Structure 1
Amino acid sequence: MSCSSSSGSEEENEGIESYRKGGYHAVRVGDSFAGGRYIAQRKLGWGEFSTVWLAYDTKSSNYVALKIQKSAPQFAQAALHEIELLSAIADGDPTNSKCVVRLVDQFKHTGPNGQHLCMVLEFLGDSLLRLIKYNRYKGLELNKVREICKCILIGLDYLHRELGIIHTDLKPENILLVSTIDPAKDPIRSGYTPILERPEGNPNSGVTLNVIEKKLKRRARRAVARISERRASMGGVVRNPKPERSLNGINVSCKVVDFGNACWANKQFAKEIQTRQYRAPEVVLRSGYSFSVDMWSFACTAFELATGEMLFTPKGGQGFDEDEDHLALMMERLGKMPRKIAIGGARSKDYFDRHGDLKRIRRLKYLPLDRLLVDKFKFSDTDAREFSEFLIPILDFAPEKRPTAQQCLQHPWLNINLTHNEEKNETSLEKEFDINWNLTEMWDFSLAWGWLG
């Protein structure tokens, strides 16, 4: 779960039934933690294992994200593992410049439901998932995509090359902007006055009222939406399309977050990793995995940022399951999987015959990535070709052939100063890295480097 102002689970509530022994700790606005150092301000989100709160650090006078784990032993153990990884990340990045969320503090808090491990993280903004939704599922400008991709790759390069950590669950929800999309939701930019003591009222009503109010608001929104749909369907009412939103003024610098499923490369503990749509083929086939699974997820995320849609959305069908459909979708976009890879996993026999062909999905509709970008998403031929040349090597079926994050940072597509059909401006990250190559030099470099074959 993300320590953001808009977690992926904020549309629903965690429910009061999980506030019990071994479960969540009931927090009220104004509650203090760690001997009074941190004061709860408002809830940011929740996940299966924890809730996250905006808190005010009275020692540093900064706002932070306070992540409070469920108290049952298995949740405490998971928290200890995450704290171990986050501590290593913070220790290796004293200047906080590696585009990975920073652990500020950690402590234990005892409440009526047990003892809860708590993590204090730097406060960040909205997730890339929320940015995609805010942009109404339309692709972001390619300059914005480049800037975001650079941040993610800087983070992955640090995790992989310097620390030996595999994230294992990279996706838009787990990458947060450094500030909120809406300035009013940023406690600093909005001039928010911190709450330093608990407001008067029923001390036991906070959680219950919060749940009930949110449920009532959701029901009201759904009812209004249904009425609007009925009115539109009756009498031929034509809805005006919503105007496009401008992302100008939104800082798209971002950081990788949520290390609850991450692992050391030499201490892997799970065979099935990654969220379905961002899962690499070697994970589906159980062929073993390494840092390159994060690179596959990165490519899927980059595509989603540029188009507003997921690259792969597998579904089960008559006679086949989601995994086989996922493999079929991969091949429809990337070409036939080499036989050696197709039959080389522990689960290969479930999906492939001895020739390397899928057992149940026989007819594939091949459409190369560049043509998809042009035909469906209306990219120019040049933009489609250049973006595809960046993504396709990262989506190689052979994990060992995928470029590393460090190599990706050198790719010409990330370093184009003058993009086709876009404003001729350097992005803030391009200025930071002082990239002044011209287009001809970059393509010469790429050919010499062997990226384009």
Structure 2
Amino acid sequence: MTDHQEWKENPAEYCPGGYHPVQIGEVLNRRYQVINKVGWGYFSTVWLCHDVQKKKNLAVKICKSQRKFSDTALDEISLLKCVNGARKKESDGENIITFLDDFKLIGENVLHVCLVFELLGPSLLHLMKNYGTNGLPMTCVKRILQQVLKGLNFLHKKCRIIHTDIKPENILVCVNTDNLQQYMEEAVVWNQNRLDNIEGPATGASVNFLTHLFETGNADMLGVKIADLGSACWVYKPFSEEIQTQQYRALEVLLGTGYSTPADIWSTACMV
């Protein structure tokens, strides 16, 4: 599959029961102005939007309209509201993506459930691809692992939630610094010097910015957050017997002997 194919969802899925045909510039729910597409999955598309009320950018996930997708989205909203409640009560959970709002959109293909999230950077998978076979620096691996495990501890113990789909695609990168503009300007120069010395196509600017932070000793400014609770379930109420992406599937799931929170830890270990 080419990079273009990875970025482009199947046009045939824009049909009754499928994706909502979003137009750049349109305003969703009288509040969120669409800027660009940032991703897509089997259940939904995700869009970079500007909140015209709070004057900030965020991500809007628009789910397919078929009933089973709407039900899944409503389950995800319940889980995310639990996370928000636990976050306020415990003053914890900074390694879980922040859920901001939800609304329903009536489009050409009936009703679509929409979820609004804070805007984060690229996925861990994109960062890993940028490093190729060499892999991420060990200091980076340790930092990411610590934060993923901290996020899972919060989900498991404070929220009683099993994520069920931990993988690099669902770990998003964020930058914690008051000097973001300065570092991005430095990264432009660093990346140009880097491209002058290598052959092959350039990768995304945001990924190269993160690479710049790693290779200039500023990895401590990077954070990661667990995203996509679309397949998550309550500890006491599993939604499905078969969970997890195959490469990250826990042994107990493969054997069909039942699963709980340790399944997420197995998936985390598989990422390493």
Assess same fold via TM > 0.5.
Answer: yes
Written as runs of structure 1 = structure 2, the 5 A alignment for 1:251-400 is 251-301=221-271, 303=272
- Residue type at the aligned position of 2:27: S
Q: CA deviation at 1:240?
A: 6.8
- Residue type at the aligned position of 1:57: D
Q: What is the aligned partner in structure 2 of residue 11 from structure 1?
A: 6
> Are residue 83 (structure 1) and residue 77 (structure 2) matched?
yes
Q: What is the aligned partner in structure 2 of residue 63 from structure 1?
A: 57
Q: What is the aligned partner in structure 1 of residue 15 from structure 2?
A: 20
Q: CA deviation at 1:11?
A: 2.1
> Are residue 115 (structure 1) and residue 111 (structure 2) matched?
yes
Unaligned stretches of 5+ residues in structure 1: 1-7, 191-238, 304-453
Higher relative contact order (CA closer than 8 Å, sequence separation 6+)? 2
Secondary structure of 1:136's match? Answer: helix
Give the Cα–Cα distance (whole angstroms) in 2 for the partners of residues 44 and 74 of structure 1. Answer: 24
Q: What is the aligned partner in structure 2 of residue 428 from structure 1?
A: none
Q: How many positions carry a matched residue from both structures?
A: 239
Cα 1:11–1:19 change in 2 (3 A) is same
> Are residue 129 (structure 1) and residue 125 (structure 2) matched?
yes
Q: What is the aligned partner in structure 1 of residue 34 from structure 2?
A: 40
Secondary structure of 1:93's match? Answer: helix
- Residue type at the aligned position of 2:264: D
Say which structure is richer in strand. 2
Give the Cα–Cα distance (whole angstroms) in 2 for the partners of residues 116 and 9 of structure 1. Answer: 26
Give the Cα–Cα distance (whole angstroms) in 2 for the partners of residues 257 and 64 of structure 1. Answer: 14
- Residue type at the aligned position of 1:260: G
Q: What is the aligned partner in structure 1 of residue 86 from structure 2?
A: 92
Question: For the Cα contact (< 8 Å) 1:98–1:158, is it kept in 2?
Answer: no
Give the Cα–Cα distance (whole angstroms) in 1 for the partners of residues 173 and 157 of structure 2. Answer: 23
Q: CA deviation at 1:149?
A: 1.0
- Residue type at the aligned position of 1:253: G
TM-score between the two structures when normalised by the length of structure 1 = 0.50
Q: What is the aligned partner in structure 2 of residue 103 from structure 1?
A: 99
Question: For the Cα contact (< 8 Å) 1:9–1:46, is it kept in 2?
Answer: no
Question: For the Cα contact (< 8 Å) 2:249–2:266, is it kept in 1?
Answer: yes
Question: For the Cα contact (< 8 Å) 2:167–2:267, is it kept in 1?
Answer: yes
Q: Alpha carbon RMSD of aligned pairs, Å?
A: 2.6
- Residue type at the aligned position of 2:79: L
Q: What is the aligned partner in structure 2 of residue 236 from structure 1?
A: none
Secondary structure of 1:268's match? Answer: coil
Question: For the Cα contact (< 8 Å) 2:59–2:119, is it kept in 1?
Answer: yes
Q: CA deviation at 1:59?
A: 1.4
Question: For the Cα contact (< 8 Å) 2:93–2:154, is it kept in 1?
Answer: no
Unaligned stretches of 5+ residues in structure 2: 186-197, 202-207
Give the Cα–Cα distance (whole angstroms) in 1 for the partners of residues 250 and 68 of structure 2. Answer: 27
Identical aligned pairs, as a percentage?
Answer: 41
Give the Cα–Cα distance (whole angstroms) in 2 for the partners of residues 10 and 62 of structure 1. Answer: 30
Secondary structure of 2:222's match? Answer: coil
> Are residue 154 (structure 1) and residue 150 (structure 2) matched?
yes
Secondary structure of 2:267's match? Answer: helix
> Are residue 52 (structure 1) and residue 46 (structure 2) matched?
yes
Question: For the Cα contact (< 8 Å) 2:35–2:50, is it kept in 1?
Answer: yes
Residue-by-residue CA offset, 1:306-331 (whole Å, 9 max, x unaligned): xxxxxxxxxxxxxxxxxxxxxxxxxx
Give the Cα–Cα distance (whole angstroms) in 2 for the partners of residues 300 and 16 of structure 1. Answer: 33
- Residue type at the aligned position of 2:57: Y
Residue-by-residue CA offset, 1:62-98 (whole Å, 9 max, x unaligned): 1110000111111100100111111111121135753
Give the Cα–Cα distance (whole angstroms) in 2 for the partners of residues 267 and 289 of structure 1. Answer: 11
Cα 1:296–1:83 change in 2 (3 A) is same
- Residue type at the aligned position of 2:166: L
- Residue type at the aligned position of 1:56: H
Secondary structure of 1:48's match? Answer: coil
Cα 1:51–1:131 change in 2 (3 A) is same
Question: For the Cα contact (< 8 Å) 2:7–2:39, is it kept in 1?
Answer: no
- Residue type at the aligned position of 1:292: P
- Residue type at the aligned position of 1:294: D
